Amino acid sequence: MGRTKINVILLIILKLFLVDTTTGEETCENDREMDKLCGGHTYKSVKPLLDYFKQVRNELDQSEIKEKHISEINADLMIKYHEIVGIHEKLMKEAFQLDEYKNKIIRKENNLQLCQSKVDKLESEINSQQTTINQLTLHLSDKSNKLEICENQLKKLNSSVIEKDEKISGYSATIQNITEYQKTISLKLEERLTMLFKKDKDIEICHAEIIKLNRTSHNNIPSNCLPFGEHPGVHEIEVSGVGSFDVLCDSQLAGPGWIVIQQRIGGEENFTRDWATYRKGFGSLDSDFFLGLEKMYRLTSQQQYELYIHLLAEDGNIFYARYDDFKISDEDHGYALSLGKFKGNVWDAMRIHENMKFTTFDRDNDLFYDNCAVWNNSGWWYNDCFACNLNGLYDEGLYCSESANYLKETKMLIRPKEDKNK
């Protein structure tokens, strides 16, 4: 194109020059004449230029053709250019669409990648879950094995428990049986015991009956407890001067055959009594009593008697005092006391009462300026007044020497002294 423009400019310059020198086509026909006219050195100097102009003119002609051609081509080109522009626009549009598609694709790809990563993640999760499931399955099978073992053991235990239960029920049945048997046996035993007790009593009664019968058949009532040594308790004796009366025989405290002449075991009897009552005796043989001074005199005047004094202190200590020649004088002599030799585990407190007459609140035989029986609430062989008073007030005055203070039980027993010559 640049070249064409330069040519066009040259062409214009050349035309202007030619117009000044020549006048159209008729000049060309005059060339030959000119040649002939100007044959000298003018012609010779202008000739190359004229040749050149000729050439240029030809070229110009040709270039005009070419230019025409070119403009045609240009027009073509313009058309083509427009076409190309259209195509370019189309292309641009398509490129834009392509870009859009590309973006879409990229987006889709991103989504796809996202999705893929999600899928991957899910896959890995699934994998881990699968492994977990596998592990769990393993565990489960392990557990189910163990469970089976456990169930077997349980079954075994259950059967053994059932066995044991059966045994236990068997045992408890036996135990019940035995218990019932025991009950019947103990009932029988009780029955037998009561029967035995009854028999014992019967035997006792029988024996007493026999003794009575023997006595009546021989008309011979014992005068003391010696015949009842094997069977202590209440028996009838007969003593000359006072006749027959019941006495309590004791074989426990100091051997067999003792007559109990005084007893304090519960404090139920009033020992503040007058002379006549002490003479006769009072109280009941199964609790507290005093046998009576007259009976004691009659008994001890028949033969030699020994005296055994039993003392039970509040603290549980037991004392005794024994005299080998116990005797009571007759009423005229005031039932004065004789003792004999002492033996015992207590101080010989009765000794100060030896040879003393008996004193009651209504008969004062003591050595005290007043009546000891009044002061000390009982009849006794008072001196000035006493060292031992077994008839004193129960809980207050029952006293026999300092070593046997606070007595809760006292007994006086007599028994014929064994004749050593026999």
Contact residues: ligand NAG, CB under 6 A: 154-155, 158, 162, 173-174, 177, 181, 210-211, 214, 218, 220, 270, 272, 368, 375-376, 385, 392, 396-397
Among residues 190 and 396, whose Cβ is nearest to ligand NAG? 396
User: Phi, psi at residue 309, to the nearest 5°?
Assistant: -105, 125
Instruction: Give the number of other Cβ atoms within 10 Å of residue 380's Cβ.
Output: 25
Q: How far is the CB of 169 from ligand NAG (least distance, A)?
A: 10
Q: How far is the CB of 221 from ligand NAG (least distance, A)?
A: 10
Q: How far is the CB of 274 from ligand NAG (least distance, A)?
A: 7
Among residues 323 and 382, whose Cβ is nearest to ligand NAG? 382
Q: Give the pairing of strands 342-344 and 318-328.
A: antiparallel
Q: How far is the CB of 295 from ligand NAG (least distance, A)?
A: 21
Among residues 272 and 301, whose Cβ is nearest to ligand NAG? 272
360: nearest Cα among 300, 293, 408: 293
Amino acid at 95: A
In sequence order, the β-bridge partners of residue 409 are 312
Q: How far is the CB of 184 from ligand NAG (least distance, A)?
A: 10
Q: How far is the CB of 350 from ligand NAG (least distance, A)?
A: 17
Among residues 398 and 412, whose Cβ is nearest to ligand NAG? 398
Among residues 55 and 244, whose Cβ is nearest to ligand NAG? 244
Q: How far is the CB of 352 from ligand NAG (least distance, A)?
A: 13
Give the C-alpha separation, 338 to 334, whole Å. Answer: 12
Among residues 347 and 368, whose Cβ is nearest to ligand NAG? 368
Among residues 60 and 222, whose Cβ is nearest to ligand NAG? 222
Q: How far is the CB of 118 from ligand NAG (least distance, A)?
A: 51
Among residues 77 and 211, whose Cβ is nearest to ligand NAG? 211
Among residues 141 and 158, whose Cβ is nearest to ligand NAG? 158
Q: Please report, to the nearest 10 degrees, the dihedral formed by the alpha carbons of residues 25, 27, 33, 39 taken in order.
A: -130
Residue 95, token pair as written in the block: 């490129």
Q: How far is the CB of 366 from ligand NAG (least distance, A)?
A: 9
